[in-house]
Structure 1
């Protein structure tokens, strides 16, 4: 019995250590994805004429005119990562970037396997953030309780 108790105690220590790493892991996931999308948005606004040409000739965004798709995609890539990294509206930002991510994959007629794998990885991280939230190290944890406290009836 003592052997099983030692194994269970060791497992509980491992679980406690992993639980302590959750805020850091959530922040790292948010930072990684935010950086990828934000840098893509910066690239688009640096040369807007090329961006419009790409959305007109290369990217085939369903249901949207190329100019509107370019503005929406670039705007999403610049605004949503800031929200994501701050953890402010983290689930909203993760879901919004998921849409940008899926549209990016669907709008390219041919996508290299490595690029597709990168989009799948980003999508997986975004799904985790959307499901589990931005984590303890987020502005949402500070701001949201204050907002909801003001909405409660007195």
Structure 2
């Protein structure tokens, strides 16, 4: 059994790995989905067909929905992988997940739950120490100056 001090010494590195995994795995799912929607720099016919015939989202043109979803599925996972604006990227993917769950595939709640939980974790915790967010925060944060110095 681990002692309390051993547990505490492992807590930060384990949290770093957990937050990295929470960024990589959902990001990979959305990235791969985005890659199936394009041929080169163009939306492919299959993506347009799916948005027109199968997904049928209300209040938005199918071509616009396909373009926005494809852009999100390429940009937001890269943000997650790099840990750059992690909370914003996770929020964007969570919104996409909710749209898919509520409007497209409502019976796939178990799959969507496995995407939503790590995205919620990232929104709460941020990208962790293995992220550009952490690096930029450390670089940008000024060193506090003491109010008084000891004699």
TM-score of the superposition, structure 2-length normalised? 0.82
Please give the root-mean-square deviation of Cα atoms over the aligned residues, in Å.
2.0
Residue 123 of structure 2: aligned partner? 130
SS of the aligned residue for 1:58 comes to helix
Q: How many residues align?
A: 139
Does structure 1 conserve the Cα–Cα contact (< 8 Å) formed by 2:87 and 2:123? yes
Residue 40 of structure 1: aligned partner? 33
Counterparts of 1:57-96 in structure 2, within 5 Å, are 57-96=53-92
Shift of 1:20: 2.3
Shift of 1:21: 0.9
CA distance in structure 2 between the partners assigned to 1:109 and 1:89 by the alignment: 28
Shift of 1:48: 1.3
Residue 146 of structure 2: aligned partner? none
Q: 1:143 to 1:101 in 2, by over 3 A?
A: same
Does structure 2 conserve the Cα–Cα contact (< 8 Å) formed by 1:61 and 1:106? no
Shift of 1:19: 2.7
Does structure 1 conserve the Cα–Cα contact (< 8 Å) formed by 2:129 and 2:135? no
TM-score of the superposition, structure 1-length normalised? 0.81
SS of the aligned residue for 2:69 comes to helix
Higher helix proportion (structure 1 or 2): 1
Structure 2: runs of 5 or more not aligned: 143-151
CA distance in structure 1 between the partners assigned to 2:126 and 2:38 by the alignment: 30
CA distance in structure 2 between the partners assigned to 1:109 and 1:83 by the alignment: 26
Counterparts of 1:109-124 in structure 2, within 5 Å, are 111=107, 115-124=108-117
Structure 1: runs of 5 or more not aligned: 1-6, 150-154
Shift of 1:65: 1.3
CA distance in structure 2 between the partners assigned to 1:22 and 1:110 by the alignment: 32
Structure 1 ranges of 4+ moved more than 3 A: 144-149
Shift of 1:136: 0.4
